[in-house]
Amino acid sequence: MREEPLLILDFDGVIVDGIQEYWASSRQTCLNIISAKEKEIISLPREIPSAFKTMRPWVHHGWEMVILAAECSDKTSKLNLKGIENFSSNYSIECSLALEKWGWTPSQLQEALNQTRREAISNNFNQWLNYHQPFPLVIQHLKTLEKEDIEFAVLTTKSIEFTKKLLNCFNLQPNLVFGHESGSKIDVLNQLLHKRIIRGFIEDRRTTLEKVLEDPNLKSIPCYLASWGYLKPQDRNNLPSGIKLLNLETLREPISNWS
């Protein structure tokens, strides 16, 4: 086991705000895969729909963003007709029904989304990069971790390919990067815990942190909910004792002061 403790962070919503890129890539992916007839029915605006922004905290996999983009842009969709609260309360089921409606599969959408991003990077890398806004205090803190003799890793559901490109542009060199190709976050944490002392896991998805608490093997990992991330309206309320709400002011302090 290596001596240096490890701080693990989610990427989207913790290190970077990528809502502009999510919409641009999801919108373009829809345009790439829908039929000419469907293009006459739905309207995909360049401006981010408010429903797309509001639904972001429910998104777990990239392909879901393509479904949301299509549903936001279809006036006859259940998301538009029945509203955000109804869609979000049955999120997984509604996504499955939408997949069936459009005749798509998750793997098809994920690959189409990845291809859209590759083309965006190839055609206009600076524009693609500018769609991502890093959280300055987070970047600043990660660059000073070495003074605390702590290393950091990134654990995300984004692909490793795109995550590494962005980290390089932010001049961040994590010791480890795990993407959706690496398996579930719980599995990765279990593997890491055999090799490293984990000083904390920062995530903006409360349900992910709750799954960490449910795993008896991971009970030694301090869990932090990023207050600046993509949180659902009730995520800050009645947190379990094993999850601490982390704000940017506390982030300025040494990790030893967080608990």
**How confident is the model over 196-251, as pLDDT tens digits?**
999 999 999 999 999 999 999 999 999 999 999 999 999 999 999 999 999 999 99
Would you state the pLDDT for residue 50?
94
- Eight-state DSSP code of residue 253: S
213 closest CA partner among 194, 191, 185: 185
Q: What is the mean pLDDT of the chain?
A: 94
10 phi, psi to nearest 5 deg:
-65, 165
What is the share, in percent, of the chain residues with pLDDT greater than 90?
87
Q: What b/e readout covers 200-212, taking b as 16+ CB neighbours within 10 angstroms?
A: bbbbbbbebbeeb
Domains and CATH numbers, the chain: 6-17+133-257 (3.40.50.1000), 19-129 (no CATH)
| Predicted confidence band of residue 39 (pLDDT cuts 50, 70, 90) | confident
Give pTM, 2 decimals: 0.89
**How confident is the model over 11-30, as pLDDT tens digits?**
999 999 999 999 999 999 99
29 closest CA partner among 103, 98, 101, 114: 114
**How confident is the model over 103-119, as pLDDT tens digits?**
999 999 999 999 999 99
Would you state the pLDDT for residue 1?
57
How far is it, in rounded angstroms, from Cα 168 to Cα 200?
23
155 closest CA partner among 126, 130, 186: 186
